[in-house]
Amino acid sequence: MTWRASVLTLFPGMFPGPLGQSLAGRALETSVWSLDAINIRDFAHDRHRTVDDTPFGGGAGMVLRPDIVDAAVASVDDSRPIICLTPRGRRFSQDDARRFAAGPGLILLCGRYEGIDQRVIDARQMQEISIGDYVLSGGELAALVLLDATVRLLPGVMGAADSAVEESFSHGLLEYPHYTRPAEWQGRAVPEVLLSGHHAAVAAWRQAEAERITRERRPDLWAEAASRQHAASAAS
Ligand code: SAH
């Protein structure tokens, strides 16, 4: 079964964009997933194809009209979750990507200008999602980020079946560092243990590095991982 993404946007030419390349691009060609970009402007009903208007209450910028956005949503609506990309949303995470990949697909609504009339977001029970604490000029790049992280988890997209199991965030830790040939480069040697052929020692070194890097760089993740460990050992 093909995992289906429908993106509602004023700039359909931005899709598939980078998702037409590499792993996601090949998976698109082989119908592991599908992507249709729907132009919100096609649902405008006046001669000028107007999609936005000035905000009630005053202030700068323009707001996408609820009736136009709703008509665009209605054209694709089925059982799939509807995501509204917005800096006000819950922060997107690896857990979301896993959950979305396990479902039938997504409908993604990209805002522009000041944003979207809140009533259509509420009426269609959209999930409001942000990709981080900064403001983009539109939701399209956010949709591409969310889709990239999700699509690579679909069965058959990544090369090695288990390459998603070990990576950053999968166990609540950042990943250990990687090394390849040459074994010495510009006077820098690869950590000795990785050349030892001793699998248990390699695994122990990688685990220790993952813990060290998480502790140093992301004390927030480290605290979460530690409390999960606590709960697990208390339960057993
Ligand atoms: N006035 C809004 C920002 C509008 S930016 C505010 O202050 O919250 C225009 C559009 O870009 C938004 O409607 C949203 O769809 C998208 N966007 C901007 N930053 C984003 C982010 N961090 N995550 C997801 N979408 C974002």
Q: Which residue type occupies 184? A: E
The β-bridge relationship of strands 184-185 and 188-189 is antiparallel
Token code pair at residue 165:
């199991």
Rounded distance from Cα 87 to ligand 1 centre (Å): 5
Rounded distance from Cα 226 to ligand 1 centre (Å): 33
**Cα 7 to Cα 29: distance, rounded to the nearest angstrom:** 18
What is the CATH number that goes with domain 3-151?
3.40.1280.10
Question: What count of residues does the chain have?
Answer: 236
Rounded distance from Cα 203 to ligand 1 centre (Å): 42
Query: Domain-by-domain residue ranges, the chain?
Result: 3-151, 166-235
Q: Name the residue with the closest Cα to ligand 1, atom 18.
A: 136
To test the ligand 1 pocket, which listed residue (85, 88, 141) has its Cβ within 8 A of the most ligand atoms?
85
Q: Name the residue with the closest Cα to ligand 1, atom 3.
A: 114
Number of C-beta neighbours around residue 88 at 10 A: 11
Q: Name the residue with the closest Cα to ligand 1, atom 26.
A: 86
**Cα 204 to Cα 207: distance, rounded to the nearest angstrom:** 5
pTM for the structure as a whole: 0.95
Rounded distance from Cα 8 to ligand 1 centre (Å): 15
Q: Which residue has the higher pLDDT, 187 or 228?
A: 187
* Domains 3-151 and 166-235 agree in fold: no
Q: Which of 135, 145, 49, 53 is nearest to 94 (CA)?
A: 145
Per-residue pLDDT tens over the stretch 132-154: 999 999 999 999 999 999 999 99
Residue 231 has pLDDT above 90, yes or no: no
Lowest mean pLDDT across 24-28, 89-93, 154-158: 154-158
Rounded distance from Cα 132 to ligand 1 centre (Å): 10
**Burial of residue 212 (number of CB atoms within 10 Å: 0-12, 13-18, 19+):** middle
Mean per-residue pLDDT of the chain:
95
The dihedral formed by the CA atoms of 71, 75, 41 and 136, expressed in degrees to the nearest 10: 90
Query: What sign has the CA pseudo-torsion 45, 106, 108, 35?
Result: negative
What is the CATH number that goes with domain 166-235?
1.10.1270.20
Ligand 1 pocket, Cβ-based, cut-off 6 angstroms: 85-88, 110-112, 114-116, 130-132, 134-136, 138-139, 142
Per-residue pLDDT tens over the stretch 154-199: 999 997 655 667 788 878 999 999 999 999 999 999 999 999 999 9
Instruction: Give the pLDDT confidence score for residue 161 in this predicted structure.
Output: 53
Q: How many helices (H) and strands (E) does the chain have?
A: 7, 10
